[in-house]
Chain A
């Protein structure tokens, strides 16, 4: 892959990122952040590659720590996001007084 191909991908990804992320409502910014957090755990791929082709003790150590860091990032990030979004996704309770603004005369 040439450097220019990589730059093309990079620049397009910036635009896609801004386009998609700016549509996320403030309410969901914390889950968004922890989900993007999990996504930057993609660096674990780099860790796997350097470790998978490593051939001296220091690199085994560096690579293993990098993979462990990446795995914390990925597993923890996606799981905690799931837990958080579960709270938002709770079934909305049937609201009897949905028209509460005008219909509260009975008190």
Chain B
């Protein structure tokens, strides 16, 4: 067997190179704090990864180069192809898929480690416990991510799918997995492969059942959480393999995913537990039909164009509906027409606009909107009373003043973009239908709101054309 045989596994040289590698990850992430340096930061992190991979390939005693080559070539080709072809609207499912393969890899590595333990006759607890943790978290992450992918890709319905007695089944599975792990740990001379596979299967079912009941609007939370899970499973694998690069890199990802999960939950004014275990969308829908018919002001593209063209400043509030309609380029064209007339155009982005954290910013960046014009919710809200016209495109619940004014509303307390504070509001929407929360939006009935009933993309193009003709 040919071995490059340069570095002793666990030796000083290999460890030093792993330290270089994780330092580059941290430096890379630090550069990610600004749009102008983030691209370089990503490259730095990629170099760190290259250092880690090369170091590992140079470890003494490594062999099976044929298999390694097959894995590397196939994986790299698939990854490269997917990353070039993916549309920016499909980023959430792409990230879900990467979470999945990462978690899957961890579960497989754990399985292989257990088999090593068996061949040695026993496995010390300090290796066995992290291996079991890696297997459980990795497997949950793999299957949960696959379900999230399938939902985002519309392969299965995005509405919450609940099985009767779901909570109990989940609890039984969760406890069962832990009990199995304890049994394996107690009888670790050698650890039982059959029980280990049973753990993988139970964790797989758990991963499916946890994500299936979660509705489409809660996807930003789910994806962030699965991201954290895969990171933590990688860190657990690092404990098992005593590899410092895995521990640090996995933990960094775990922290990142945890922060994003909490931010997304805060932005929806719900606890993470509530999102995971309540299957949003079913309950509050009943409240929707109760309201009487209220008058709305409906306008056409030409009126909208006039309102916009004679404003000093306009704020566009995009929601996921804009992404679904692929309207980002049409909206940018409308903004271009306005800017050509001297109107200031900004974009107000709600933290959960889109299907993953920050998704809307990427979609607008793709349409060449300069990032300086992308305003976060907390930045734009104080300016709202000075805004001439706010244009809401494909957003609903995140603009509903009921979140502030009606303590009995299901979304009470959810931070919103306060468009109703603007002098005039134009809402581009197909109908008065409710958003994901299933409740009426009071904004539509306010005296300063005009409804432009149309498809987001068609309406934006039409308004742009009308502005040009003014």
Binding site for B on A (CB under 8 A): 1, 3, 6, 9-10, 13-14, 16-18, 20-54, 56, 58-60, 62-90, 92-93, 97, 100-101, 103-104, 106-107
Binding site for A on B (CB under 8 A): 9-10, 25-26, 28-30, 32-36, 38-39, 41-43, 45-46, 49, 52-53, 56-57, 59, 61-64, 67-68, 70-72, 74-76, 78-80, 82-84, 86, 88, 91, 94-95, 98-99, 101-102, 104-106, 108-109, 111-113, 115-116, 126, 223-224, 227, 230-231, 233-235, 237-239, 241-257, 259-260, 263, 309-310, 312-313, 339, 341-344, 349, 351, 354, 356-359, 361-362, 365-366, 368, 370-372, 374, 376
Residues of B within 8 A of A37 (CB): 95, 98-99, 102, 227, 230, 253
Name the residue on B nearest A93 (C-beta).
B370
CB B5 to nearest CB in A, in angstroms, measures 12
Residues of B within 8 A of A59 (CB): 112, 115
Q: Which of B29, B83, B106, B368 contacts A46 (CB 8 A)?
A: B106
Check if B35 sits within 8 Å of A13, measured CB to CB.
no
Name the residue on B nearest A11 (C-beta).
B251
Check A71/B74 contact, CB under 8 A, given A27-B374, A29-B358, A30-B361: yes
Check if A63 sits within 8 Å of B71, measured CB to CB.
yes
Cα(A1)–Cα(B113), bound, Å: 18
Check if A92 sits within 8 Å of B372, measured CB to CB.
yes
Q: Which of A62, A72, A88, A90 contacts B38 (CB 8 A)?
A: A88
CB A62 to nearest CB in B, in angstroms, measures 5
Residues of B within 8 A of A14 (CB): 251, 254-255
Check if B256 sits within 8 Å of A27, measured CB to CB.
no
Check if B72 sits within 8 Å of A45, measured CB to CB.
no
Check A32/B32 contact, CB under 8 A, given A51-B68, A52-B64, A104-B343: yes
Residues of A within 8 A of B94 (CB): 34, 76, 80
Check if B32 sits within 8 Å of A83, measured CB to CB.
no
Check if B357 sits within 8 Å of A48, measured CB to CB.
no
Check if B112 sits within 8 Å of A54, measured CB to CB.
yes
25 A-B interface contacts by CB (under 8 A): A14-B254, A17-B253, A25-B33, A30-B358, A31-B358, A33-B224, A35-B45, A39-B252, A39-B253, A41-B49, A42-B245, A42-B246, A48-B62, A49-B9, A67-B75, A71-B76, A78-B46, A79-B79, A84-B88, A87-B88, A87-B366, A88-B39, A89-B39, A92-B370, A100-B343
Check if A32 sits within 8 Å of B256, measured CB to CB.
yes
Check if A18 sits within 8 Å of B358, measured CB to CB.
no
Check A23/B342 contact, CB under 8 A, given A62-B112, A82-B43, A93-B370: no
CB A59 to nearest CB in B, in angstroms, measures 6
Check if A104 sits within 8 Å of B344, measured CB to CB.
yes
CB B122 to nearest CB in A, in angstroms, measures 17
Check if B26 sits within 8 Å of A16, measured CB to CB.
yes
CB A6 to nearest CB in B, in angstroms, measures 6
Residues of B within 8 A of A28 (CB): 32-35, 38, 358, 361
Check if B71 sits within 8 Å of A71, measured CB to CB.
yes
CB B452 to nearest CB in A, in angstroms, measures 22
CB B310 to nearest CB in A, in angstroms, measures 8
The interface residues of chain A, by DSSP majority, are classed as: helix
Top-9 shortest CB links A-B: A71-B75, A17-B255, A29-B358, A67-B71, A76-B79, A52-B62, A75-B79, A13-B251, A29-B357
Kindly name the residue among B95, B109, B349 whose own CB sees the greatest number of chain A CB atoms within 10 A: B109
Kindly name the residue among A48, A76, A85 whose own CB sees the greatest number of chain B CB atoms within 10 A: A76
CB A33 to nearest CB in B, in angstroms, measures 6
CB A25 to nearest CB in B, in angstroms, measures 7
Check A50/B113 contact, CB under 8 A, given A28-B38, A73-B79, A75-B83: yes
Cα(A5)–Cα(B238), bound, Å: 12
CB B165 to nearest CB in A, in angstroms, measures 33
Residues of A within 8 A of B339 (CB): 97, 100
Check if B39 sits within 8 Å of A10, measured CB to CB.
no
Check if A24 sits within 8 Å of B79, measured CB to CB.
no
Interface contacts beyond A71-B74, A89-B38: sample of 4 additional A-B pairs, CB < 8 Å, sorted by A: A26-B376, A52-B62, A78-B46, A97-B342
Cα(A38)–Cα(B238), bound, Å: 16
Check if A35 sits within 8 Å of B234, measured CB to CB.
no
CB B16 to nearest CB in A, in angstroms, measures 13
Check if A45 sits within 8 Å of B80, measured CB to CB.
no
Cα(A97)–Cα(B344), bound, Å: 9
Residues of B within 8 A of A26 (CB): 263, 349, 351, 357-358, 361, 376
Cα(A65)–Cα(B113), bound, Å: 15
Q: Which of A1, A30, A54, A92 contacts B242 (CB 8 A)?
A: A1
Kindly name the residue among B26, B253, B366 whose own CB sees the greatest number of chain A CB atoms within 10 A: B253
Kindly name the residue among B71, B251, B370 whose own CB sees the greatest number of chain A CB atoms within 10 A: B71
Check if B259 sits within 8 Å of A77, measured CB to CB.
no
CB A94 to nearest CB in B, in angstroms, measures 11
